[in-house]
Amino acid sequence: MESLDEALAIAQGVRERFVEVRIHLAFGQLHARRGRFDEAVAYLLETFEISTELDTRLWQFRALSALGEVFILKGDEAAASDALNHALDCCTDTDSEDYRQIRARLATLSGISAESSGPCAVASDVGD
């Protein structure tokens, strides 16, 4: 992860926000794989914040999808549902495989509605 740390420092130094968003997403996913869920959530929320600043729904979708998976791993189905529903709001192509996969993932959560509840930018309450 030292290489990612170095890449993040370089990207921040030259203000390459699109590189930053990718590195934060990678850090979040790596921490999740290691079972370090709090760190994963922090990086994924930062990924979402940067992608919101950049106004890129694709990266908002990716951040929220990954965040939903982390919450599932943590056993927090309500937070997972919230993140995944917000991810659906970010998906501009409702015929895409990504959209179908998130809908299917939501359907597997016990007793949780798989309905989108608002615009993608509303996801600021995710992770509270």
| Predicted confidence (pLDDT) per residue in 62-81, tens digit | 999 999 999 999 999 999 99
pTM above 0.85, yes or no: no
Give residue 68's pLDDT. 96
Tell me how far apart the alpha carbons of residues 57 and 55 are, in angstroms, rounded to a whole number: 6
Beta carbons of 40 and 70 less than 8 angstroms apart: yes
The number of CA neighbours under 13 Å toward the Cβ of 4 is 14
Instruction: Name the residue among 105, 63, 104 with its Cα closest to residue 86.
Output: 63
* Number of domains forming the structure of the chain: 1
Domain that includes residue 56, residue range: 2-125
From the CB of residue 32, how many other CB atoms can be counted at a distance below 10 Å?
A: 22
First to last CA, the chain: 27
12: CATH: 1.25.40.10
